[in-house]
């Protein structure tokens, strides 16, 4: 580069502007215009080829028939998932599940709670299956097939209406407060032993416990009102023997 430096300096000092009619200027302009025209021609040919290919493929009667597009400009073919029979079956199943929201036993209630909390994890992982396995082991009288059907049904019930399903939990449990407290303890122990809950999962667990606690308090109040009161002997100076004689 040191050898070129003096030459560059000499060129800068001796540079002379060329005239506008210089043939090399004309050749340069012609070459530039030719490149622009060639690129424009390539662009137009490419776009035309893409358009023709699109119409050839998607304008084919075979492809249109496979996609359900009518050649006679009539109404498009109904999607299989929207057939009246399918819609009617889905609505009938939804009505059946709504009727089952307040029906079941303690196993159904536990499965509903564990699925409800497990859905807050946004995925079905090992902890959810471990919680369900512990529930099954706690009830050996239930067969695995029956347990699977119960879990599947409770999952579907939650998909229909989560809020109503959780509010109806007390109706699936025994009426006495002791059994409901034992159920709450079982849920807490099972969840704590199988997974670490996220914020949403903890919120759902607290919601379930609040519903059960509120209903248990109501059951205690009703039980205290309906239990027989012991006769009071305060203020009576009569002995049992005298009362018996007077009776």
| Token output for 63 | 């492809």
Q: State residue 167's pLDDT score.
A: 92
Mean pLDDT of 197-209: 86
Q: State residue 37's pLDDT score.
A: 95
Number of neighbouring beta carbons within 10 Å of residue 112: 26
Mean pLDDT of 118-147: 74
Q: In whole angstroms, what is the distance from residue 156 CA to residue 112 CA? A: 10
Q: State residue 246's pLDDT score.
A: 41
| Token output for 109 | 């209630």
Mean pLDDT of 107-128: 77
Give the list of residues 6+ apart from residue 130 with CB closer than 8 angstroms, or none.
194, 195
Confidence of residue 241 (pLDDT cuts 50, 70, 90): very low
Q: In whole angstroms, what is the distance from residue 92 CA to residue 86 CA? A: 10
Q: State residue 73's pLDDT score.
A: 62
The angle at the Cα of 166, spanning 176 to 109, to the nearest 5 degrees, equals 55
Q: State residue 144's pLDDT score.
A: 83
Give the lowest-confidence range in 111-120, 188-197, 207-216: 188-197
Q: In whole angstroms, what is the distance from residue 174 CA to residue 46 CA? A: 75
Residue 55 has pLDDT above 50, yes or no: yes
| Token output for 151 | 């879990």
Q: State residue 45's pLDDT score.
A: 96
Report how many helices (DSSP H) and strands (DSSP E) the chain contains, helices first. 11, 0
Mean pLDDT of 70-98: 77
Rg, C-alpha atoms of the chain: 41
Q: State residue 245's pLDDT score.
A: 37
């Amino acid at each position: 580069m040191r050898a070129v430096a003096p030459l560059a300096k000499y060129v800068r000092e001796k540079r002379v502007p060329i005239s506008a009619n210089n043939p090399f200027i004309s050749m340069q302009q012609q070459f530039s215009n030719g490149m622009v025209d060639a690129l424009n021609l390539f662009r137009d040919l490419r776009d035309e080829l893409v358009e023709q290919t699109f119409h050839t493929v998607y304008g084919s009667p075979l492809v249109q028939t496979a996609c359900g597009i009518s050649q006679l400009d009539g109404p498009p073919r109904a999607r299989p998932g929207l057939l009246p029979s399918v819609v009617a079956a889905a609505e009938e199943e939804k009505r059946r599940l709504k009727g089952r929201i307040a029906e079941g036993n303690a196993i159904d209630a536990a499965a509903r709670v564990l699925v409800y909390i497990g859905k807050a994890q946004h995925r079905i992982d090992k902890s959810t299956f471990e919680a369900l396995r512990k529930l099954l082991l706690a009830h050996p009288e239930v067969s695995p097939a029956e347990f699977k059907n119960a879990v599947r049904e409770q999952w579907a019930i939650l998909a229909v209406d989560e809020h109503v399903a959780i509010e109806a939990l007390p109706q699936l449990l025994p009426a006495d407060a002791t059994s409901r407290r034992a159920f709450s303890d079982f849920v807490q122990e099972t969840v704590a032993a199988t997974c670490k809950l996220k914020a949403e999962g903890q919120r759902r667990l607290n919601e379930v416990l609040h519903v059960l606690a509120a209903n248990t308090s109501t059951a205690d109040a009703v039980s205290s009102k309906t239990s027989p009161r012991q006769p009071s002997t305060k203020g009576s100076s009569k002995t049992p023997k005298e009362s018996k004689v007077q009776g």
